[in-house]
Amino acid sequence: MIRITIFAGRRVAVFGLGASGIATAKALVAGGANVVCSDDSPAGMQAAAEAGLATADLKESNWAIYSALVLAPGVPLTHPEPHWAVRAAKLAGVEVIGDLELLARERRTQGFDVPLIAITGTNGKSTTTALIAHILQEAGRDTQVGGNIGTAMLSLEPFAPGRHYVIECSSYQIDLAPSFDPTVGVLLNVTPDHLDRHGTIENYAAVKAGLVRGAARAVVGIDDKYCRAIAEELRASKDADAVTTISSRPEAPSDVGVEDGDIILRRDGWISTVAGLAGIGSLRGAHNAENACAAAAALMALPEPLAPDAIARGLKTFPGLAHRMEQLGHVGRTLFVNDSKATNADSTEKALLSFPGGIYWIVGGKPKSGGIAPLTQYFDRIAKAYLIGEATDEFAATLDGKVAFERCGTLDAATAAAARDAANAAGSGNAPVVLLSPACASFDQFRNFEVRGDAFRALVAALPGIEMLRSSP
């Protein structure tokens, strides 16, 4: 645990008692604060009480006694309207912050010059976070990884000399961290998302920009107009060598990019190769090339930068993340891939682009607006589709006359049918790929996409002749 001492002897309210809220309250108590916890949910209040934390209904509180309200990221700060606790705190002149801000202030207070790499972006931030942490660990560096990726950031091991922190940051967390100052800040991309929480895409982009504005060194993708504008702004306000631009597009004028399957560094008119991506199945596709460029750029931007050979070694051994283009195993030439995290067409597009053809596509679930119509241009890559869940009729209508398909209903039936057909076609052409990339939410048949992906993994593991590459997340 990272003890938060900056509020020692003072009273602090913590609202929102999920995993990060409980971890925050414990860290504040361990640092000497007088903490009162609250939540709109009885389950949250019970969880805090079971953790030995003091709870109270803050609607009955005198807000003047609090030095800060520490808000869980999921509690509305501004949109669609401020939560009642936010309004009450601000009316009393009490600052509203989050766990990311606590981490930043405590890091400055303790005076440890620990490298902190923070990663955000609409897409790819979990993979990039995991990739950076993996490369650091493979290089023998003491590394802690957490934040939005899983482990609550204040539950990580305490600051110590030489210890590196790799933190995934959501826009909700950044919005509550006005003085966040990572060693390296990474902004991958900005596309419309979470507009219910930020109001407009411009507001959302401005929040994301906050992470790299406060960073000593910034790594920014330039493949969308919002990030290009942010990169230009940073170049005007920071030293030239403090900003590194990245892109997965060979034609883009980025500092770090991809050419002929290699990550390259452009500097002072010279081009040098950092690492090769060819043959790394866990980093297949243009989206993962962007993630790899970001990881390499961030690691080269550290005060004690990683050498290209160390980056290359780490890239080659990266196992990938569960449910995100996760390579499960082979039956003969057929590869089985779990992309259960693809809950919309935009995400599935990246999966379909990752293979030239021979795709046996398991698709469906609880459909989202637009369905799979935006994927029509990639239908020539699909050998056959296997339809599951509520989306079956809608997706059948979209595929009719364009792609062979089979109504399977359930994931187990679809997996068996796809494995059968891929085996029959495995003798020629592109190596077959049985791809679970549903382009749908899971809630019609599974509690979440993780449960759906775990079920697919188990079904694949039970196939005759399977050689598993990864049996568990």
Q: What is the pLDDT of residues 49-94, one digit of tens each?
A: 999 999 999 998 899 999 999 999 989 888 889 999 999 999 999 9
Q: For 346-360, how does the pLDDT look when each residue is reduced to its tens digit (9 = 90+)?
A: 889 999 999 999 999
Buried b / exposed e over 198-227, threshold 16 CB at 10 Å, is beeeebbbbbbbbbbbbbbbbbbbbbbebb
Beta pairing, strands 217-221 & 243-246: parallel
User: pLDDT > 90: what percent of the chain?
Assistant: 81
pLDDT band at 193 (very low <50, low <70, confident <90, very high): low
pLDDT, tens digit, for every residue of 392-431?
A: 999 999 999 999 999 999 999 999 999 999 999 866 677 9
Give dist(CA 82, CA 208) in Å, integer. Answer: 19
| pLDDT at residue number 123 | 85
Q: What average pLDDT does range 274-295 have in this prediction?
A: 91
pTM surpassing 0.75?
yes
Least confident of 73-77, 176-180, 214-218, 436-440: 73-77
Q: Per mean pLDDT, which range of 186-200, 361-375, 429-443, 457-471 is the poorest?
A: 186-200
Which residue, 46, 34, 43, 41, is CA-closest to 70? 34
Place 239 in a pLDDT band, splitting at 50, 70 and 90.
Answer: confident
353 and 286 Cβ atoms separated by less than 8 Å: yes
Whole-number Cα distances in Å, 94 to 102, 210, 348, 379: 15, 22, 44, 55
Which domains does the chain possess? 11-97 (3.40.50.720), 101-316 (3.40.1190.10), 326-464 (3.90.190.20)
Give the percent of the chain with pLDDT over 70.
97
What region, left, alpha or beta, does residue 173 occupy, with left being phi > 0 and alpha being psi -120 to 50 degrees? alpha
C-alpha closest to that of 138 among 265, 317, 290: 317
Between vectors from CA 454 to CA 449 and to CA 455, what angle results, nearest 5°?
Answer: 100
Is 23 a residue whose pLDDT tops 90? yes
